[in-house]
Structure 1
Amino acid sequence: MDGVGYITQCPIEAGTSFRYIFKATPTGTFWYHSHSGPQRTDGLFGALIVKENEIPEGLPSFIDLPGNHTLSLLDWQREASLDLFVQIHSSLGYYEGTNVDQVPTTNNQIYENTCSADGAEVGPVPYWSGIINGKGKHKDIDFSQASLSSFNVESGETYRFRLIGAQGNYAYRFSIDGHNLLLVGTDGYFIQPVEVDYIIIHTGERYDFLLTADQTGKTNYIIRAETLEVNCDTLERDGGLETNDAIAVLLYDDSSIDKAVIQANYGTKRLCDTENVCKVANCPFENYLTGSGYDCSNLHVDELQLFVATPGNELPKSKAVNINSTWFFNFGFDSAEFTSTVNGRNFILPSTSPQTQGYKQIDSELCKDLSDECNLDEDDCTCVHTINIESGLSGKTIRFVFSSLNITEGFSFAHPIHLHGHSFHVVKVGYGSYNASNNRVNGSTPDISCGTPCRKAPTWTGNTAPKDISITDKTIYKDTVIVPAGGYVVIDFIADNPGYWFLHCHIESHQLEGMALVINELESQQNSPPAGMPLCGNFSWSVENFKEKLYSSGGRVGFQAWEIILFAVFSMIAGN
């Protein structure tokens, strides 16, 4: 019941329905969304909240009203996502071996690259505007004409808020004017509460926080979700970037939105400097530049701790991991066409769903030798990239090492990576090499080695894993994690969920280009599909079959003895 088209089922046909049945566990903040083309970025998504029967003892008391306090964040474009995706390709041209900043400007190119605080690149498409629960404001629209979402609280009460990162491309740095946020959960699991000023949330992630309505004197407070963009030269926000945000309004005591107050306060932001340092959770880089006023210390994703310990029988045995249960995946752009890949390969969807119609049917479409660089002559760089977790690893600890190394192209991206079918423990985050004077990432981590270009799975440098990979029963549990630019993330989970699971970057354009693969987990233990499950795939018949069908009704359609029968075989490559 995972729902990814051409992997666990056929896509739901127009005018038809498909009933999903699943157990409502685990509890927490989730979301549903389409995996067909760019439908999700164009709005086909929604919140899916599973409430707890009981809140764990020790957490602060709070009011939980998911229908009132769930916020879905989206970077909104003025064009359909597929049109924009095509425009990216036509404007950049994808010159092999060329830094994107050096690509000649064409008539279609409309985007000047921006960077994050570590100098890594931020977005492959231009930022237009942001919306929260479907409402927002573009910079050219006056506040009086804007439609903003609002969220009500009563003075003195504490509420649980839920953030869902539904963006297509951009990470957001989230805050609420005048209020601190008590971070209490991520991706469906409670964590040890930690007070922060900002939460960074990338596409696919979810974070829960508690807000206490303890302010006086005002009834309207701006809720802000700002992109991480800075000027690439200065690594600072300039005037043009001040509008790269999505805003909503926190209302006290049944008040209504006062747009004049919102406009007056819009340019006045939280003071963050050396004397008033702001704490930022979930940074996709090691830290902000010293003196910037922002601090990530002790708030990186692998430094957060679960509130409820993982039971011993559910905890991966990380010390037992060896080369046979470890897989490396590099999410980069070292492809033959300068596009998004995993280990140099652009993923394409198979013609049938292996989960419902069998693995053998897609055998000819699979990538061939994954242990070596892809072979252009054999078309092994654009294929159905699949790795197999064999039955001998059932119940054993599996380790994935996600990296974002860009060996030849000269730029770096942070990637939000999502694994279907499992939550996982984040046992280590490693960062790229930095220039100490300006905090710029200037190279890849020394812990991982890859070829030049990096078109096959990397390895630990010297075939020796870092010694500080460790797990405890409080190690954070997630299903989506940001891989730092030039760095890596190590995750551990237990192979106990047979199925075909999609593993992909959640940046929509990266996924569409092929930054994805399939995990075939414990094939021999997988269930057969329900009776009547719709089928998909190729259709082929012979000229003889055609003639037999043509004359089966007893009639004839005026063919001459010298007739020539033409037939065509049509194929469709389905984009994800």
Structure 2
Amino acid sequence: SIGPNALLVIANANTSLDGYTRPAVLAGGAFPVPTIVGDKGDTFVIDVVDQLSMDVVTSIHWHGIHQHTFNAFDSASFVNQCPIIPGDMFRYQFEIPDQAGTYWYHSHFSNQYCDGLRGALVVRDPQDPQAGLYDIDDDSTVITLADWYHYLSTDAPSIPAFNSTLINDAGRWAGGPTTLLSVVNVQQGKRYRFRLVSISCDPNWLFAIDNHIMTIIEAEGTNVQPLDVDEIQIFAGQRYSFVLNANQPVNNYWIRGLPNRANNTIDNGINSAILRYAGASDSDSTTPDTSGKLPLVETNLHVRPLLVNWNAGLY
């Protein structure tokens, strides 16, 4: 991860995230695109350098950040920012005084983010009132869901259709090679705060992890009362934090991210990643689907009441 002060070079590179090689637009010029991390109260200073040779201008939008008094850095191209031209640098400098949670950043020039310029943005709360519910919250617990196309966004048809899906920048496509999937490593007995981010351009997803309950504690920067689910429907741009208790036998378990369009199965490992317990074999999972008995119903999410600590204030 990088941040809250960072250099972000935007460049082109060929990638084969699902086994199909195509050009892409990337932060840092390579995958994985870095997660940007800071604390509530930080001033973020991100210097973005445009080194693009195709789809050549760009701008970066900080999705979910209020940008109070920093409107110029909200960065919708041609709305409140002229896009950055090749060879130039633009400094994004903004404070996040009163927000914490899970966000994301992406290009806000045309459909450019569908070519790869998108990543997670995490604002941690040093006084997180839910910290007692989990043991681990770090770079390894960010999960991104993305659709992926075998053509540039500038060449997209009037009704584009994705060719594959990516979980943490890796996936497979129907009829394609058996490429390596993303692996999320856990240790039995630990509790993990996973930050689930849909960075997709089009589909929504049904997200689940075989044999595991997910306890939602945050929705798009708002702490919520803990809610147990076994399946999360998540739309483009949405974010959730959930706690996963690694209390199952040592094994590999499917992480399922089924899109609402195209091939919504996990045949041959498409639309999936692997939750791997320490000590499990280095192989794909064979676990059956156990989700759908306790799906997320958004009206069951309730804001966590503020508590008063007379020494520290509201939290």
**Secondary structure at 1:40's aligned position in 2?**
helix
Partner of 1:138: 173
Partner of 2:115: 42
- CA shift in 2, pair 1:187/1:174, >3 Å: same
Partner of 2:147: 75
**Counterpart contact for 1:182–1:211, Cα < 8 Å:** yes
Report the TM-score when normalising by structure 1: 0.38
C-alpha displacement at 1:37, in angstroms?
1.4
Distance 1:307 1:134 in 2: 32
Partner of 1:248: 273
C-alpha displacement at 1:150, in angstroms?
1.0
**Counterpart contact for 1:31–1:48, Cα < 8 Å:** yes
Distance 1:249 1:243 in 2: 12
Structure 2 gaps of 5+ residues are 1-72, 309-315
Distance 2:155 2:109 in 1: 15
The counterpart of 1:190, out of the listed 223, 231, 234, is 223
Distance 2:290 2:260 in 1: 16
Distance 1:56 1:243 in 2: 37
Distance 1:242 1:148 in 2: 15
**Secondary structure at 2:82's aligned position in 1?**
coil
**Secondary structure at 1:50's aligned position in 2?**
strand
For the pair 1:306 / 2:303, whether they are aligned, the reply is yes
**Counterpart contact for 2:103–2:220, Cα < 8 Å:** yes
- CA shift in 2, pair 1:202/1:152, >3 Å: same
Per-residue CA distance 1:229-265 (angstroms, 9 max, x = gap): 49xxxxxxxxx64259521111112646313xx2x44
Partner of 1:148: 181
Partner of 2:138: 66
Partner of 1:228: 260
C-alpha displacement at 1:27, in angstroms?
1.1
One-letter identity of the residue aligned with 1:269? D
**Counterpart contact for 2:218–2:224, Cα < 8 Å:** yes
One-letter identity of the residue aligned with 1:137? R
Partner of 1:279: 294
**Secondary structure at 2:202's aligned position in 1?**
coil
**Secondary structure at 2:139's aligned position in 1?**
helix
- CA shift in 2, pair 1:39/1:65, >3 Å: same
Per-residue CA distance 1:115-137 (angstroms, 9 max, x = gap): xxxxxxxxx53342100111011
One-letter identity of the residue aligned with 1:20? Y
Distance 2:279 2:85 in 1: 44
1:247-266 matches, within 5 Å, as: 247-253=272-278, 255=280, 257-259=282-284, 262=285, 264-265=286-287
**Counterpart contact for 1:249–1:257, Cα < 8 Å:** no
One-letter identity of the residue aligned with 1:200? Q
C-alpha displacement at 1:23, in angstroms?
1.4
Partner of 1:201: 234
Distance 2:247 2:252 in 1: 13
The counterpart of 2:101, out of the listed 28, 51, 54, is 28
**Counterpart contact for 1:181–1:196, Cα < 8 Å:** yes
Distance 2:275 2:172 in 1: 16
C-alpha displacement at 1:201, in angstroms?
0.8
Aligned residues: 233
Per-residue CA distance 1:350-407 (angstroms, 9 max, x = gap): xxxxxxxxxxxxxxxxxxxxxxxxxxxxxxxxxxxxxxxxxxxxxxxxxxxxxxxxxx
The counterpart of 2:201, out of the listed 152, 155, 168, is 168
Partner of 2:161: 126
Distance 1:243 1:252 in 2: 20
**Counterpart contact for 1:155–1:252, Cα < 8 Å:** yes
* Structure with greater helix percent: 1
1:296-335 matches, within 5 Å, as: 299-300=297-298, 302-309=299-306
* Structure with greater strand percent: 2
C-alpha displacement at 1:153, in angstroms?
1.1
Distance 2:155 2:199 in 1: 19
Distance 2:79 2:282 in 1: 46
Partner of 1:17: 89
Structure 1 gaps of 5+ residues are 89-123, 231-239, 273-277, 282-298, 312-576
C-alpha displacement at 1:79, in angstroms?
1.4
Distance 1:23 1:212 in 2: 34
**Counterpart contact for 2:213–2:229, Cα < 8 Å:** yes
Per-residue CA distance 1:46-78 (angstroms, 9 max, x = gap): 111111111216x65212333101011101111
**Counterpart contact for 1:180–1:195, Cα < 8 Å:** yes
Per-residue CA distance 1:194-248 (angstroms, 9 max, x = gap): 00011111111111100000001x4211111002349xxxxxxxxx642595211
1:380-529 matches, within 5 Å, as: none
**Secondary structure at 2:146's aligned position in 1?**
strand
